[in-house]
Amino acid sequence: MSHTVVATAFGGPEVLSVIDTDVPEPGPGEVVVDFRAIGVNPIDYKLYSGAFGTDESQLPKRLGSEGAGVVSAVGPDAVGPAGPISVGDEVIAFRGVGTYASRAVQPASSIVPKPAQLDWEQAGGLLLTAATAYDALEVLGVGAGDTVLIHGAAGGVGLLAVQLARLRGATVIGTGREVNHDYLRSIGAEPTTYGDGLADRVRGLAPGGITAAFDTVGTDEAVDVSLELVADRSHIVTTAAFERAQAEGFPSIGGSNPDSTERRDAARLELVGLAGEGKLVNAVAKTFPLADVATAHSELQQPHDIGKFILVP
């Protein structure tokens, strides 16, 4: 049996329940993972909010696409990106299926080894945000000599994007609340606040100009400032302002974009390796028992401490 989170209706966090479910034997190309930590992401609550429709045939809806745990059963031909998977392996799942659970069947294709140096909480919330950040920087072609403006640098994706851009040799300017500026400096960004006068503040921090911009927040301000400061629209990318991207002619990533999926999946082993070497730090803001999933989702939609929220079964 497994303790499993489901959304029983469309709405707010109050529609979430934890129920007991049977866990079948894994089939070909599948494994069973006993989860120790599970990453909480905005996409998780959007899936039951009605933002993507309210088809009741999808209910009850299981949630979660990432987590870390121990393999407890393997099916035939259970081979992941790093090779064959065995019972007892400590692993990270991404792109997992229904990972908001104490135990769940996962596709072997979603399983990568967990570095021993990473604790469960860091590992469980690493890959969705890190892979998204990697995807954006690949689209932008960020490298040494670039100066990158990251909107929402203190968010889950932004924090990883700052670190990955710095590893590529770029200078980073990141927007965020003032309370998070010291942390942003500690990972190599030059922080500034958002709001009126943002473009002028960025110019003051980057007199040589901005060569690329990554929007993780989707506000008109983020888009307008990026368009004002970046001459080449192919060097602006968003994970949120999809309508503006289409209208203004700059790239967006994520969603059902097959190129994004391919880039993110291909990056998993590299990203896990960087984290295991201590070169990529996944800050954890808060952990919650699995039973408190509704509280976690409510708090995630409010200003909170820097870092990821993690569920612990």
Is residue 201's pLDDT more than 90? yes
Q: E strand or H helix at 16, and its extent?
A: strand 16-21
| Cβ contact 130:155 at 8 Å | no
Mean pLDDT for 82-108 is 98
pLDDT at residue 55 in the model: 94
Helix and strand totals (H; E) in the chain: 10, 17
CATH (residue range 128-248):
3.40.50.720
**49-53, 179-183, 285-289: lowest mean pLDDT where?**
49-53
How far apart, in Å, are the Cα atoms of 312 and each of 126, 161, 281?
A: 15, 26, 20
pLDDT bucket at 110, cuts 50 / 70 / 90: very high
Q: Write phi, then psi, for 160 (nearest 5 degrees).
A: -75, -35
Q: E strand or H helix at 203, and its extent?
A: helix 198-205
How far apart, in Å, are the Cα atoms of 141 and each of 36, 169, 257, 262?
A: 35, 12, 18, 16
Q: Rounded CA gap, 12 and 31, in Å?
A: 32
pLDDT bucket at 30, cuts 50 / 70 / 90: very high
pLDDT at residue 25 in the model: 98
Burial class (CB in 10 A: 0-12, 13-18, 19+), 200: exposed
Record the tokens describing residue 83, joined without a space: 């090779």
pLDDT bucket at 26, cuts 50 / 70 / 90: very high
CATH (residue range 2-126+282-312):
3.90.180.10
* Amino acid sitting at position 20: D
Q: Rounded CA gap, 210 and 229, in Å?
A: 6
The mean pLDDT value of the chain amounts to 97
pLDDT at residue 255 in the model: 80
pLDDT at residue 256 in the model: 81
Q: Rounded CA gap, 305 and 136, in Å?
A: 24
pLDDT at residue 37 in the model: 98
pLDDT at residue 241 in the model: 97
Residues 6+ apart with CB under 8 A from 173: 147, 148, 149, 150, 189, 190, 191, 192, 202, 205, 206, 210
| DSSP secondary structure letter of residue 50 | T
Is residue 219's pLDDT more than 90? yes
Domain positions in the chain are 2-126+282-312, 128-248
pLDDT digits (tens, 9 = 90+) for 1-19: 999 999 999 999 999 999 9
Q: What whole-number percentage of the chain has pLDDT above 70?
A: 100
pLDDT digits (tens, 9 = 90+) for 152-192: 999 999 999 999 999 999 999 999 999 999 999 999 999 99
Burial class (CB in 10 A: 0-12, 13-18, 19+), 248: middle
Mean pLDDT for 46-73 is 96
Assessment of whether the complete model's pTM goes beyond 0.85: yes
pLDDT digits (tens, 9 = 90+) for 235-268: 999 999 999 999 999 999 998 889 999 999 999 9
Residues shown for the chain = 313
Mean pLDDT for 88-113 is 98
